[in-house]
Chain A
């Protein structure tokens, strides 16, 4: 604990954090620019949030920004509209409707701070948003894509389709027919709860079976276009997956098709790193810390040295 405490104190005193409100597509978003205590750069890692309310889960965002600043780099994290301290309403996060306007606002604000070279990063929905936004921005310098899904299902939708379409496992059936559950049927509320649950299951099965395996595995054409644009420009890209991520299975599957040809053609401009465990959603400390280490190392390798005074 002492070692961790002294590391935390050292980190904080060796960096500057500048909070900011900035305009983006008619809303005012909130972000934090983290810089080393000294030295000037014209670049920063832009941390595009995923489809959760605080963006990079828990302290991952702060940890990454602080590590980068300790290594002499800059990072900017922000909240989408309707999230965190920002104004507006987020709506439902859909891979077919990426929040690139919000990223554009962040890039404009960074430009006003003298930061013209932007490394985009994001996880899951954030990775897809970062990729699409970077393709639209000629000055994008690089990309880190964490647990990026390759299909266009809305967050949570793929899992729901897969499980709802499948017959109920025996354990669920046993639980539903257990004495404790059946006793619930004595009350009106209990019967109503049961009826709602059964109706929901039937609805999900109907919806789930209407999607074919081919559609489930379809790689997003928009994502492929963005990737092609960036690789044609020679932009370096780092992919990071956890080997237990659903998106990693998509990645392996897609690697057999045009997506795979594209990244193989890019040679050493594309790096793919795989971490043991589940990385998606930053739900594991071990995997999260490993990813932060990989991201810090990659930025340190590709970002050019600080500007002369």
Chain B
């Protein structure tokens, strides 16, 4: 069921966004383009029924990881709204549906986009307590905004300490894809080439600009978040045989080098970020995904909207 919701910021054209009102939950979703061309961000604002008690900025991962995580974030946004918490998620410029040049994507532009997105959220939810959520590299982006809001709860989903593991995963996926293509085309055994030749890496059809890699040099989650005290929850889906989960490494780092009070919740399950082996089953029917979302939503609700009623 669709409905028209006209409570848009003044700079927003009605034709730039689509609005869905869910009569069963009374949640309103506004999806579309925010800002003005050629720098529009695609995003989705999810508002709870009645008055929101708090608002959460969701910073997504990139490329294949964005696609893998997309539905988790959609479900999470709807679950948060059902508990009185508004949320806004967006695509970085040069990625997804947003405007922008894919070759110009850098950590700095991602942080600028997060600032713009936070502006959209606070415009719609003025004066409300804020929370931040980031997944994978989105955790570094979210932390750059969270540090501006003292004490704001900060949730990390399957976090990375820096860009290194992301690039390794992307490179492995690119090479594996190339090997499959090469083998089938009868070109197996081709000499190794520089994956960044031409100024970008082609990993499974995603164009990763070298400038993105360079812009993350020296950037760490610990430095982005700052040393101030705040509550942090790390939620990660971890296979049973993984004896050195990255989430634990990140939790230890934050615990040692910041004043954050860090909780770690590891959910047993399989989650592949750059291969599609577990992509065929819907997230809505995947117990580890649902457990991770439930843990995230409960934690944010307890900190941001403990007494909210519709």
Contacts and interface: CB of A to CB of B under 8 A. Distances in A.
A100 B155 CA distance: 39
Interface residues of A, number: 59
B132 interface: no
Interface in B34-89: 37-38, 40, 44, 63-64, 66-68, 70-71, 74
Contact of B70 (A53, A277, A288): A53
Given A8-B101, A89-B284, A278-B180, A54 B70 contact: yes
A85 B96 CA distance: 13
B127 interface: no
Contacts, number: 148
Given A5-B104, A52-B279, A85 B44 contact: yes
Tell me what chain B mostly uses at the interface: helix, strand, loop, or mixed. mixed
Nearest to A242: B181
A20 interface: yes
B264 interface: no
Interface string A33-70: 00000000000000000011110011110100000000
A62 B95 CA distance: 9
Interface string B97-128: 10111111000000000000000000000000
A59 B95 contact: yes
Contacts of B2: 21-23, 28
- Interface size, B (range): 35 or more
A59 B181 contact: no
Interface stretch (A9-17, A219-227, A251-259): A9-17
A23 B37 CA distance: 28
B63 A286 contact: no
A93 B280 contact: yes
Given A4-B101, A21-B18, A85 B31 contact: yes
A285 B177 CA distance: 12
Contact of B185 (A83, A89, A276): A276
B241 interface: yes
Contact of A4 (B44, B103, B240): B103
A283 interface: yes
A243 B185 contact: yes
Contact of B101 (A5, A19, A243, A244): A5
A246 B184 contact: yes
Please give me the 10 A-B residue pairs with the lowest Cβ-Cβ distance, nearest first.
Answer: A278-B181, A12-B38, A244-B184, A19-B32, A8-B101, A19-B18, A244-B185, A285-B202, A193-B241, A21-B20
Given A52-B279, A83-B71, A156-B277, 13 more contacts: A4-B103, A13-B38, A19-B16, A19-B17, A32-B97, A58-B207, A92-B282, A190-B241, A192-B240, A278-B177, A278-B180, A284-B181, A285-B202
